[in-house]
Structure 1
Amino acid sequence: MMGKSQNDIQSSITDLQVRRLDSSPSRNMAQPARTLNPPIPDSLTEPPPRNPARSQTPAIPGNTPIRRRTTKKGNCKGCSEPITGKSVSSADGRLTGRYHKECFVCTTCSEPFQTATFYVIDDAPYCERHYHKLNGSVCIGCDRGIEGQYLETERNQKFHPNCLTCSDCKRILKHDYFEMGGRVYCERDAFHRAQQGRFLGPGTGGSNRMQRRTTRLMMM
Structure 2
Amino acid sequence: MTPERTGWFVTVDGPGGVGKSTTVAALQRHLADAGVPAQLTAEPSTSDLGKFTRENANHVHGLALACLVAANRYEHIDTEINRALREGDLLICDRYVASTLVLQQLDGVPLDFLLDINRHAVMPDLAVILTASPGLIAERLAGRGVTHRFHLDPSTPSREVDLYGDAAALLANWGVRVLALDSSQATPSEVASRIADEIPPLPLPSVSSAITPTPQEP
User: Does the TM-score normalized on the shorter chain lie above 0.5?
Assistant: no
**TM-score, normalisation: structure 1:** 0.17
Higher relative contact order (CA 8 A, sep 6+): 2
Rg larger for: 1
Provide TM-score, normalisation by structure 2: 0.17
Higher helix share: 2
